[in-house]
């Protein structure tokens, strides 16, 4: 599973052992003998709450609950998209073609290999939320209650749903207009005030309960224009649904290619410029089709909001949001049936052949990458004690640590290199390391004070010669030295001595 999802499950384990909702038990840096509670305000709780139902009430392990959650969310998402597209007046041929393309994409198949948490939960809930919110008339208090309830479900699935909620708000303001040209000022103003107030109430609740306690509250907005990032944002409405980022990385940034940074900069700029042009032209073609005005209003609302928000996020000095196509996939789901409708009406143009080629390549890449990924996982990972595959910590090291945990009397503290591996231990307290991604200086500045009855530090063997081993062991200030109790080609296990 991904790191984000593993962190979510550590929160779940803390809750199951008595911690308050969405709080994680962590080790205090000031005294490693003590625990402290931290609110998980960075990742949405839906990624662990849904599997938690099967763990707590059915008795399944984490791996089994992930398999069931993934299956249910994927089925729910496909059926939801079917009925959403049907409500937007697309014919069944277009809808089934769109669903087939989605199933063949890498972003869809990857969930069967690696649990990606919020992305999976949002895929299962988003279409139904859009379908329900679109059907409401908003002329009574119950409809406003349903808006808050459904948007809260989306937010708990994935925090970025706030952007979706804003797009829905824009859509609700203009949805009853027959065209964008025939705007009645008074009606527009009344609808705008009503729906904007509702969105602001929703945003305020989200901010007070989660956002102000997590990573996203640390956003800064010092403007710094980036042409490449701008092209990236303009490319993603289409690119997000056709795995354009994944294909780019496979072509140019795959490990072992060793292409220089200067060449990569130029390649990336040209690549996303071309895709941005295709994406913009696709939107123009769709809006010129004789299709549902309701669909056009929904698509335009999402395009405006997502483009503006991410142009702001990605054109600043310190980018704290990851630049990934998954953030735009809500728009991609909406643009796909429009693209297929255009191809159905006008298949014999050069642009149509270009779109067909992109669809074919993305589907081919999605299927082949799934087979390649599964083969790699079977070769390079193994199923742990909780029913899911582990790829970072090797099996001999895990078996040794589990035996240590079983034999050790008294409180045990383990310093582990992987959040997923931390889920394998029930008796020991855990410090989850980020040493793979932290620079040496940052590791040298960390201090763990105090002592515990038993301390085990698990480090990658490659840290022996890059200074990270000494930095990490030296961060435990109240330990005089460490004894090696296990070693193989991948990992070394140290025991702290006072």
Q: What is the pLDDT of residues 14-65, one digit of tens each?
A: 999 999 999 999 999 889 999 999 998 888 999 999 999 999 999 999 999 9
Q: How many CB atoms lie within 10 A of CB 255?
A: 6
Quickly tell me which residue has 């503006």 as its tokens: 308
- CA 49, CA 59: separation in Å to the nearest integer? 14
Q: What is the pLDDT of residues 116-146, one digit of tens each?
A: 888 999 999 999 999 999 888 887 889 899 9
* Residue 372 within any structural domain of the chain: no
* Residue 104: DSSP 8-state: T
- CA 12, CA 15: separation in Å to the nearest integer? 5
Claim to verify: residue 236 and residue 337 sit in the same structural domain: yes
Contacts of 271 (CB under 8 A, 6+ apart): 248, 252
Q: What is the pLDDT of residues 195-252, one digit of tens each?
A: 899 999 999 999 999 888 766 655 667 888 899 999 999 999 999 999 888 888 888 8
* Residue 162 within any structural domain of the chain: no
Question: Among 421, 427, 493, 430, which Cα is nearest to 456's?
Answer: 493
- CA 343, CA 353: separation in Å to the nearest integer? 9
- CA 331, CA 303: separation in Å to the nearest integer? 7
Give me the phi and psi of 132, to 5 degrees please: -70, -45
- The strand pair at 429-432 and 491-497 is best described as unpaired
Claim to verify: residue 338 and residue 424 sit in the same structural domain: no
* Residue 128 within any structural domain of the chain: no
pLDDT confidence band for 184 (50 / 70 / 90): low
Claim to verify: residue 396 and residue 340 sit in the same structural domain: no
Contacts of 456 (CB under 8 A, 6+ apart): 401, 404, 412, 413, 414, 415, 485, 493, 494, 495, 496
CA distances from 345 to 236, 342, 353 (A): 24, 5, 13
Claim to verify: residue 413 and residue 480 sit in the same structural domain: yes
Claim to verify: residue 259 and residue 331 sit in the same structural domain: yes
* Residue 432 within any structural domain of the chain: yes
Quickly tell me which residue has 């970072």 as its tokens: 392
- CA 106, CA 219: separation in Å to the nearest integer? 30
Claim to verify: residue 330 and residue 397 sit in the same structural domain: no
Q: What is the pLDDT of residues 323-365, one digit of tens each?
A: 788 899 999 999 999 999 999 998 889 999 999 999 999 999 9
Q: Two tokens at 165? A: 């909620």
* Residue 461: DSSP 8-state: G
Alpha helices in 382-487 (DSSP H): 395-407, 419-422, 440-444, 468-474
pLDDT at residue 476 tops 90: yes
Q: Two tokens at 473? A: 């062991």
Cα 247 versus chain centre, distance: 18
Walk across the sheet containing 412-416 and list its strands. Answer: 429-432, 412-416, 454-460, 491-497, 481-487
Contact between 471 and 440 (Cβ < 8 Å): yes
Question: Among 363, 147, 142, 339, which Cα is nearest to 244's?
Answer: 363
State which of 345, 374, 402 marks the end of a domain.
Answer: 345
Q: What is the pLDDT of residues 380-411, one digit of tens each?
A: 888 888 888 888 899 999 999 999 988 877 67
Can you give the pLDDT at residue 220? 67
Claim to verify: residue 223 and residue 318 sit in the same structural domain: yes
* Residue 310 within any structural domain of the chain: yes
pLDDT confidence band for 437 (50 / 70 / 90): confident
- DSSP annotation string for 3-36: HHHHHHHHHHHHHHTTPPTTEEEEE-SS-TTSEE
Average pLDDT over residues 74-79: 96
The strand ranges marked E within 348-419 are 382-383, 389-390, 412-416
pLDDT confidence band for 280 (50 / 70 / 90): very high
* Residue 294 within any structural domain of the chain: yes
Can you give the pLDDT at residue 181? 52
Q: Two tokens at 228? A: 């490449």
pLDDT at residue 179 tops 50: no
Claim to verify: residue 404 and residue 301 sit in the same structural domain: no
pLDDT at residue 417 tops 80: yes
CA distances from 240 to 203, 278, 299, 442, 475 (A): 26, 13, 15, 34, 42
Q: Two tokens at 154? A: 């989306």
Q: What is the pLDDT of residues 95-121, one digit of tens each?
A: 999 999 999 999 898 888 888 888 999
Residue-wise burial string across 77-91, b where 16 or more C-beta atoms lie within 10 A, e elsewhere: bbebbbebbebbebe
Can you give the pLDDT at residue 117? 85
State which of 317, 345, 373 marks the end of a domain.
Answer: 345
Contact between 129 and 150 (Cβ < 8 Å): yes
* Residue 325: DSSP 8-state: G
Can you give the pLDDT at residue 43? 84
Can you give the pLDDT at residue 174? 81
Claim to verify: residue 312 and residue 413 sit in the same structural domain: no
* Residue 169 within any structural domain of the chain: no
CA distances from 129 to 98, 106, 123, 325, 460 (A): 19, 24, 11, 21, 44
State which of 289, 314, 345 marks the end of a domain.
Answer: 345
Max avg pLDDT among 163-167, 174-178, 450-454 = 163-167
- CA 432, CA 458: separation in Å to the nearest integer? 10
Q: Write down the mean pLDDT value for the chain.
A: 89
pLDDT confidence band for 435 (50 / 70 / 90): confident
Give me the phi and psi of 497, to 5 degrees please: -120, 135
Q: Which helix (H) or strand (E) holds 331?
A: helix 329-345
Can you give the pLDDT at residue 246? 87
Claim to verify: residue 408 and residue 338 sit in the same structural domain: no
Quickly tell me which residue has 């009406």 as its tokens: 345
* Residue 462 within any structural domain of the chain: yes
Can you give the pLDDT at residue 214? 66
* Tally of domains in the chain: 2
Quickly tell me which residue has 């209650």 as its tokens: 145
Instruction: Tell me which residue range forms the domain holding 229.
Output: 219-345
């Amino acid at each position: 599973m991904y790191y984000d999802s593993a962190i979510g499950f550590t929160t779940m384990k803390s809750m199951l052992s008595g911690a308050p909702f969405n709080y994680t038990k962590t080790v205090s840096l000031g005294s490693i003998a003590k625990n402290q509670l931290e609110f998980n305000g960075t990742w949405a709780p839906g990624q662990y709450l849904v599997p938690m139902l099967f763990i707590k009430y059915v008795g399944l392990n984490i791996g089994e609950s992930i398999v069931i959650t993934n299956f249910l969310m994927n089925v729910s998402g496909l059926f939801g998209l079917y009925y959403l597209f049907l409500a937007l007046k697309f014919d069944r041929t277009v809808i089934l073609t769109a669903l087939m393309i989605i199933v063949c994409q890498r972003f869809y198949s990857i969930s069967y290999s690696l649990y990606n948490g919020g992305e999976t939960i949002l895929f299962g809930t988003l279409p139904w939320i859009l379908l329900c919110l679109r059907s409401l008339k908003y002329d009574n208090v119950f409809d406003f209650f349903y808006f808050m309830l459904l948007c809260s479900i989306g937010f708990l699935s994935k925090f970025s749903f706030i952007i979706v909620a804003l797009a829905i708000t824009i859509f609700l303001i203009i949805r009853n207009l027959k065209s964008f040209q025939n705007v009645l000022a008074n009606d527009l103003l009344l609808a705008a005030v009503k729906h904007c107030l509702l969105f602001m109430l929703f945003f305020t609740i989200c901010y007070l309960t989660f956002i102000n306690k997590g990573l996203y509250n640390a956003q800064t907005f010092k403007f710094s224009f980036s042409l490449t990032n701008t092209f990236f944002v303009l490319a993603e409405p289409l690119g997000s649904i056709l795995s354009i980022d994944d294909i780019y990385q496979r072509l140019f940034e795959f490990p072992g290619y060793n292409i220089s940074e200067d060449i990569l900069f130029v390649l990336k700029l040209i690549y996303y410029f071309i895709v941005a042009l295709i994406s913009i032209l696709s939107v123009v073609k769709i809006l010129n089709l004789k299709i549902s005005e309701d669909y056009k209003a929904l698509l335009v609302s999402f395009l405006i909001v997502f483009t503006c928000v991410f142009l702001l996020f990605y054109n600043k000095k310190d980018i704290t949001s990851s630049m990934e196509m998954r953030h735009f996939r809500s728009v991609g789901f909406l643009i796909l049936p429009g693209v297929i409708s255009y191809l159905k009406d006008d298949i014999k143009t050069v642009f149509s052949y270009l779109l067909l080629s992109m669809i074919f390549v993305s589907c081919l890449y999605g299927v082949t990458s799934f087979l390649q990924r599964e083969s790699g996982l079977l070769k390079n990972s193994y199923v742990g004690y909780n029913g899911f595959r582990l790829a970072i910590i090797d099996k001999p090291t895990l078996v040794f640590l589990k035996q240590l945990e079983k034999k050790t009397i008294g409180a045990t503290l383990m310093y582990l290199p992987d959040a997923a591996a931390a889920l394998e231990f029930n008796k020991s307290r855990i410090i989850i390391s980020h040493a793979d991604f932290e620079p040496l200086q940052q590791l040298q500045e960390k201090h763990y004070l105090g002592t515990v009855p038993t301390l085990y530090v698990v480090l990658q063997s490659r840290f022996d010669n890059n200074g990270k081993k000494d930095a990490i062991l030296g961060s435990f200030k109240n330990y005089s030295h460490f004894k090696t109790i296990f070693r193989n080609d991948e990992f070394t296990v140290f025991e702290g001595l006072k």
